[in-house]
Chains A and B, each alone.
Chain A
């Protein structure tokens, strides 16, 4: 396939966003429009570079991670937990979970009640306060393109369907009861974002670890020489 790079005028921002794990939806109209119009060219180019671009028909694009499920993905767990909680909470209130989680919104003022109601579950995700809920979950959702925030209102975007799909998959899992009672370790999602924020963190991956160490050593060396 012939790819004309001059056509891909937004290649840099698109690649940068996708590489960050961001989901591009209509919320980013320019990037989304170019991805939609030149979908095949982008997909082919990214594939040649070793990235798999997923074009979800529900209106969003993202990169498939390189190593599926290779690492504990705390953020994915937290976001999935938040989605489960939201669905149950909205259903309890007699509201339509799908309409809220696909294009609907949640006010910041609703968070305290949500936190109180599901305190035990949020505790497992190391979320105890509203600040932590916003920092560890809602900010992540916005950073990854699952939601947007405007004046204390969080609006959920089409990529949330990825988590709603998890609900469907769980519902279809007929062996769930067996899974619940099994002692076998269960799969966990992969995520790096919560660890990758700081390169100097010892818990980051090997490459980052080594890179940070190299930088620190060089700095120390320069200071000594100075």
Chain B
């Protein structure tokens, strides 16, 4: 067994270490893994994301083993290097990584799953098809040994595919969990990057692969066809291999097909909502930016044509606060009709007009609406109420100009003469608001 010291390991290249792998006693490797699990387990996470320099390794081990001396840590690292648990990075001998085989084994033990490539499954399927062809050839040559060997190979490959599908499914769960549990404050693009990449690079090609006319289905059908034909021919021409072996392989092929479909369905169920969520986020952000742009250009009234939320309280049934209702009810309870005052015959028409009841908002709005388009609201009001009090005219001016059924356009400031005052204000030209666009939007 080569005795590599830390210093020596740094001098040798990675190939030497790989070469030495065959000579290491497996029991010693397993014993070292068991003995140093407490130190290796946390290191795995760091090795998942890259390599570690000797200084970093010593620092991490020093933190984990506070009672140990530098010599102890050197001895520990030496042992790992001798057993090929740690290997120097190619062309960077002062940096180390976990031996790829050990890394995979530790990942398996730590129930960590790294998502594979869809292309791997495709390659396996191609290989299965080739094996099916070999099986057919062996049967036609009546070579029972070769037939049994090829069937075993086929069975092992199918198990590989099943193992890979299971691993990938676990890895996809990890992807979804990481996206769901990651810090909600980190940028969305970052949070969902892995989900989106996984979808594009794994799920989408898998959908193609497992589709009815995809490579997976074609490959499975071809292998299944060969196996079924073989069973039929065996009955006719005599047995070359045990029927159980054929049946077991056939069952496993079907299991692989079902597993692939279920695995894909679960992948979609896991990742599709997250992918849609990411898309929804993008759409919301873009929508908000567009809306703000519209408001910047045309003001708050220029809310884009879209379904705005409506949450008005129904006015027709609205009464008001408790005290207002109370006073209203009190007033009703003490209601007494006022004595009717009839105009005297001697009173002029002018006096009658002055004492008439104030117009209701509805009446004024209707009259205003009938007079559209209106070049100047204030002039119209003065025409309507030439003797009207200034404050009343100004109230109607304010009320009518703000009503939603009118489109208003501000006019230049000028003076207007009421019965008793001269007021200076910017009047409005009123026109009918386009109801078509309102209806469309709601």
A contacts, CB < 8 Å to B: 19-21, 23, 51, 62-73, 76-81, 83-85, 87-88, 91, 94-99, 104, 120-121, 124-125, 144, 162-173, 175-176, 179-180, 184-193, 196, 199, 202-203, 205-211, 214-215, 218-219, 221-222
Q: Are B284 and A87 in contact (CB under 8 A)?
A: yes
Partner of A19, one of B309, B314, B362: B314
Q: What is the distance, in angstroms, from B365's C-beta to the closest C-beta of chain A? A: 8
Residues of chain B within 8 A (CB-CB) of A215 are 324, 327-328, 331
Q: Top 5 closest A-B pairs, CB basis?
A: A167-B287, A171-B287, A187-B441, A218-B331, A87-B288
Segment from B56-64, B66-74, B147-155, B430-438 that makes contact with A = B430-438
List 11 interface pairs A-B (beta carbons < 8 Å), by A numbering.
Answer: A95-B185, A166-B291, A168-B284, A187-B305, A189-B303, A189-B310, A193-B313, A203-B402, A205-B315, A207-B318, A215-B328
Q: Are A170 and B404 in contact (CB under 8 A)?
A: no
Q: Are B434 and A184 in contact (CB under 8 A)?
A: yes
Partner of A180, one of B302, B313, B442: B302
Whether A219 contacts B312 in the complex (CB less than 8 A), given A124-B300, A171-B286, A187-B441, comes out as no
Q: Are B281 and A167 in contact (CB under 8 A)?
A: no
Residues of chain B within 8 A (CB-CB) of A125 are 300
Q: What is the distance, in angstroms, from B396's C-beta to the closest C-beta of chain A? A: 10
Q: Are B185 and A70 in contact (CB under 8 A)?
A: no
For the complex, give the distance between the alpha carbons of A176 and B440 in Å: 14
Residues of chain B within 8 A (CB-CB) of A64 are 310
Q: Are A167 and B315 in contact (CB under 8 A)?
A: no
| Chain A residue nearest to B188 in the complex (CB) | A96
Partner of A96, one of B185, B289, B331, B395: B185
Q: Are A121 and B292 in contact (CB under 8 A)?
A: yes
Of residues B290, B291, B308, B437, which shows the largest number of chain A Cβ atoms within 10 Å of its Cβ?
Answer: B308
Q: How large is the interface on B (under 10, 10 to 19, 20 to 34, 35 or more residues)?
A: 35 or more
For the complex, give the distance between the alpha carbons of A185 and B316 in Å: 27
Contact with A along B411-441 (1 / 0, CB 8 A): 0000000000000000000000110011011
B354 within 8 A of A: no
Q: What is the distance, in angstroms, from B42's C-beta to the closest C-beta of chain A? A: 30
Whether A73 contacts B286 in the complex (CB less than 8 A), given A96-B281, A97-B281, A124-B295, comes out as no
Q: What is the distance, in angstroms, from B403's C-beta to the closest C-beta of chain A? A: 8
Q: Are B328 and A168 in contact (CB under 8 A)?
A: no
Q: What is the distance, in angstroms, from B25's C-beta to the closest C-beta of chain A? A: 52
B contacts, CB < 8 Å to A: 184-188, 190-191, 277, 280-281, 283-321, 324, 327-328, 331, 334-335, 338, 360-362, 395, 398-399, 402, 404, 407, 433-434, 437-438, 440-442
Partner of A80, one of B309, B319, B328, B395: B309
Q: Are A186 and B295 in contact (CB under 8 A)?
A: no
For the complex, give the distance between the alpha carbons of A72 and B310 in Å: 11
Residues of chain B within 8 A (CB-CB) of A207 are 315-316, 318
For the complex, give the distance between the alpha carbons of A20 and B314 in Å: 8
For the complex, give the distance between the alpha carbons of A178 and B20 in Å: 72
Q: Are B287 and A80 in contact (CB under 8 A)?
A: no
Whether A199 contacts B184 in the complex (CB less than 8 A), given A170-B304, A190-B310, A193-B312, comes out as no
| Chain B residue nearest to A144 in the complex (CB) | B311
Q: Are A88 and B295 in contact (CB under 8 A)?
A: no
Q: Are B313 and A96 in contact (CB under 8 A)?
A: no
Q: Are A187 and B440 in contact (CB under 8 A)?
A: yes
| Chain B residue nearest to A161 in the complex (CB) | B309
Q: What is the distance, in angstroms, from B48's C-beta to the closest C-beta of chain A? A: 25
For the complex, give the distance between the alpha carbons of A171 and B289 in Å: 9
Q: Are B281 and A51 in contact (CB under 8 A)?
A: no
For the complex, give the distance between the alpha carbons of A173 and B290 in Å: 10
Q: Are A68 and B442 in contact (CB under 8 A)?
A: yes
Whether A94 contacts B186 in the complex (CB less than 8 A), given A80-B303, A187-B305, A206-B361, comes out as yes
Q: What is the distance, in angstroms, from B92's C-beta to the closest C-beta of chain A? A: 34
For the complex, give the distance between the alpha carbons of A50 and B289 in Å: 38
Of residues B281, B360, B395, B399, which shows the largest number of chain A Cβ atoms within 10 Å of its Cβ?
Answer: B281
Residues of chain A within 8 A (CB-CB) of B313 are 19-21, 63, 65, 192-193, 196
Of residues B185, B304, B315, B316, which shows the largest number of chain A Cβ atoms within 10 Å of its Cβ?
Answer: B315
Whether A70 contacts B309 in the complex (CB less than 8 A), given A88-B289, A184-B434, A192-B315, comes out as no
For the complex, give the distance between the alpha carbons of A110 and B177 in Å: 31
For the complex, give the distance between the alpha carbons of A205 and B315 in Å: 7
For the complex, give the distance between the alpha carbons of A63 and B294 in Å: 29
Whether A88 contacts B288 in the complex (CB less than 8 A), given A21-B313, A76-B308, A193-B313, comes out as yes
Q: Are B308 and A19 in contact (CB under 8 A)?
A: no
For the complex, give the distance between the alpha carbons of A191 and B245 in Å: 76
For the complex, give the distance between the alpha carbons of A74 and B311 in Å: 11
For the complex, give the distance between the alpha carbons of A94 and B277 in Å: 16
Q: What is the distance, in angstroms, from B332's C-beta to the closest C-beta of chain A? A: 8
Q: What is the distance, in angstroms, from B286's C-beta to the closest C-beta of chain A? A: 5
For the complex, give the distance between the alpha carbons of A104 and B183 in Å: 13
| Chain B residue nearest to A77 in the complex (CB) | B300
Residues of chain B within 8 A (CB-CB) of A66 are 312, 314-316
